[in-house]
Structure 1
Amino acid sequence: MTHLLGGEDCIDSLHRDIIDLQGAVLDVFSKTGPVRFPSWKFPDKLSCNLDLVSLLEEYDYVDSDEEFSQHSHIVLQELMFHR
């Protein structure tokens, strides 16, 4: 399965999954209010205050940089768990 690490299709799928999860999180927040705990991934921020739009723009597939794409894949998987 390591041949999939950093693949464009995988990264696109992770982007869509994170957007879907964020929608579910926002739905819960609309009923309960935000949960104010430090982010384990970004300890200098509250987990409810992460700017997912900028994170999704930053961690994306780069055709000419396999190593960065693999890094992006891992970070996006971590964001899935984070949400």
Structure 2
Amino acid sequence: MTHLLGRQDCVESLRRDLIDIQGAVLDVFSRTGPVRFPSWKFPDKLSCNLDLVSLLEQYDFVDGEEEFNQHSHIVLLELVIDR
């Protein structure tokens, strides 16, 4: 499965998944208020305070940057777990 690591379609799919998950999280927050627990990915921050827009901008697919794309793939997967 390592041949999939950093592929554009995989990175884009993870980004769409994160947007969908964040929408569901915000829907729950609108009813319950924010859940104040440390982020799994960024333990120094509360999970409800993560700036997902900024993170999605930072970890995007870049043509010709295989190592960066692999890193982005892993970070995005970790953010799915964090959500």
Flag whether TM exceeds 0.5 (same fold).
yes
Structure 1 segments of 4+ aligned residues over 4 angstroms from their partners: none
Instruction: Tell me the distance in 2 between the aligned counterparts of 1:40 and 1:17.
Output: 18
In the alignment, structure 2 segments of 5+ residues that lack a partner are none
3-state SS in 1 of match to 2:10 = helix
Q: CA RMSD in A?
A: 0.7
3-state SS in 2 of match to 1:42 = coil
The TM-score with structure 1 as length reference comes to 0.96
Instruction: Give the corresponding residue for 1:76.
Output: 76
Shift of 1:69: 0.3
Instruction: Give the aligned length.
Output: 83
1:23 is matched by which residue type in structure 2? G
Instruction: Tell me the distance in 2 between the aligned counterparts of 1:37 and 1:17.
Output: 21
In the alignment, structure 1 segments of 5+ residues that lack a partner are none
